[in-house]
Amino acid sequence: MPLTVKQHGVLKGMIAAVIVAATGLALGAFQFPPEWQPDGSPQARLALAAKCLLACAFWLLLSIGILARHRFFTPEDIDGSGLTSGTTKAKVLQAVLQNTLEQTALAAFTYLAFAALAPAGYLGALPAAALLFWCGRALFWRGYAQGAAARSFGFALTFYSTVLLFLAALLFSFP
């Protein structure tokens, strides 16, 4: 079955994002300045993961706040999606929030696992993942209203950077 034009656009975004995510994580893991590396203690690992998770939490906080603000100032949406059908803008903001929540939850578990399991010399991948997450969310948000192809790179950059970090943590979990 041939792919549609939209599917081709999404596929291009996904492939580009995988390449950028893999490159970014590798650079973080292997080129992170040694003086910035945590000492490898459990406290330093947790502190690094917590700092990196703030990048994820920022986008979740922003998504919640923008939807709440929209609902407050829009009479059609003030009762929330459970009690109204919602305006188009509210539906878009809710979809962005839902995806951001999903991405943030996956990143949180993954960042903590990676921080605990990775050799200390590879912990530079965590700040790289946080930067990729940050950029991915910004691009996803910016492209969402323009359709699947426009948001695919941002979605995939957020998702695949976390997936690759997850796979690395999984690999490090086996002696």
Domain residue limits, the chain: 5-172
User: Of 7-21, 31-45, 107-121, 148-162, which range is least confident?
Assistant: 31-45
Please, what is the end-to-end C-alpha distance for the chain in angstroms?
A: 43
Instruction: For the beta carbon of residue 128, count every other beta carbon within 10 angstroms.
Output: 22
Residues 12-65 have pLDDT tens digits of 999 999 999 999 999 999 998 888 888 889 999 999 999 999 999 999 999 999
Query: Which CATH number is correct for 5-172, 1.20.120.550, 1.10.150.240, 2.40.340.10, 3.40.50.300?
Result: 1.20.120.550
d(CA 170, CA 113) in angstroms, rounded, equals 8
* Phi/psi at 86 (5° precision): 85, 145
Q: Please give the structure tokens belonging to residue 95.
A: 């979809």
pLDDT over 90, % of the chain: 89
